[in-house]
Structure 1
Amino acid sequence: MSTQKKKKSLLKKLSSKYRLAIFNEQTYEELFVVRLSRLNVFTVVGTLGVILIVLVSLLISFTSLREYIPGYPDAQQRLLIVRNAQRVDSLIVEIKRRDKFINSFQSIVRGEDQEVGATPEDASVEMRANGNGNGNDNVNFSRSDEDSLFRVQVEREERFNLSVREVPQSAIALESAFFVSPIKGLVINGFGETTGHFGVDIVAAPSSRVSAVMDGMVVFSGWTVETGYVIQIQHPNNLISIYKHNEILLKEIGQVVKAGEAIARIGNSGELTSGPHLHFELWYNGSPLNPVDYMTF
């Protein structure tokens, strides 16, 4: 009974009406009158609090104020996260290529057979050797294990040999060599203007093609953290040309290119770049040359 009485008294207190009036001090005229209860006050204050919390949450979520919250990344940090994810993906691809190369090399050293896909020519030869086609059934054209290993060894040794060409080239003096400009643009940073700057920085139109300066063979084509997408070409007379900060590479390692042939596209890749441009280097016998002395950009 006492508990019910307490509940009734509490409910009565909450629902009891109170009159709030505002009077004019001089005339005692009522200016504003409102009837409230404790329950009405709690309901109004709670509703206003919920509305205020919702408005503050929306303001933080859909405006730039969220960047001032500790732990929330700003636009620069989100861009850095995306770039790091792309670099990690490129590093994973390079690691897989390296592991595949190392496993193949170890297999060759141990004398194991290499997995080589069968071609239609090999299939037809095998059919003739087995007597399932036209020809002499007594002739065996299948490759032996020693022949396969020797072919792999020769192909590996001659991969970067510039003498393996359709048309052999004779040695050309550096003074009489003709270079094709890798790209037409404006030189913004010359040779040796800053410490360790062994080339020139050239600005050109976006997505401009980068051309090979001479005939040669691609000895490197890949990604580095500092210089982005890089391609390196070996030319006759111990000449090497290097093209850095590209957007995309058009040639792979081991391919032979001609002078003026498109090898990449200008870009803005790598950490050591301040904008879309091409960093071009020319090396002779292990020493850097000033490209401006040999070609016009």
Structure 2
Amino acid sequence: MAKNKKNIKSRLIHHYRWMLVDDSTREAKFSMRITILNLLLVFAILTTLLFGLAYVVLKYSPLKTYFIEETASFDQVKSQKEILRLNEKIIAIEDTLSRNNLFLEHLQKVVSGDLKAAEVDSLMSKRTPVLIDDKSLKASAEDSLFRAQIAQEELESLKNTTSTNNLATLYPPVRGIITGKYSISENHLATDIAAPIGESVKAVTKGIVVFSGWNPDTGNTMILKHDNDVMTMYKHCAKVFKEVGDEVAKGDVIASVGNTGELTTGPHLHFELWIQGHAVDAEDYIEF
């Protein structure tokens, strides 16, 4: 056994000569003295370098995607979910901004008075005329009286239905003298209340401020949005004390009476009450 080990060791360290010889002239061009042990060492070093290079390439270069199918880590999965969530949120915000821009566009028209009564009030909606020959339809006095009674009952029913939305308990925006009444024929869709400059203007019910700023025609203006698709507008104010997005309670002071804007006729509050997109007579719902 010892003899065999000795023979193996002697072979490993036995010297050999590696020569490059020109085949035509038999002249030695290059020679190297080597041993089998040296060859094994060189092979081991080269193999190690080759595997090291392959590891670096597959670990840190884009080529790894062609050879290794990576399993996403927990942090990567979490990041991807967060990106998807943010993307959905951005889409929702864009949709909300689009709706708000449309709302503000129409709101600006209302504030500036560009919308006329014929465009916004349901009482002024266009109807197709029906031509009836007087001879073919002759209403008696009893029929006329009955029809008038039915119309009055329908009007009272409409007012009672609207009052169920708590509109009958609206707080007066300001105490004063009514100098301008709601009139469709005069295109005055508001109630003007004369009061001293600086008098407190209060919210008629709880709501949120959707507009608070200056308008050349109406001066300092504030618009509140309330429940049940109700909106109130306060124009020609001396000052406004709330900003867009503020929530207000019933009776909160939101502004003060003034005389601002080009369309004002003196110190007063121009108050508008809108229900489901239509301007209505505020005196039907508020005791000034």
TM score, norm. by length of structure 2: 0.45
Structure having the higher Rg? 2
Q: Which has the higher contact order (CA 8 A, sep 6+)?
A: 2
TM score, norm. by length of structure 1: 0.44
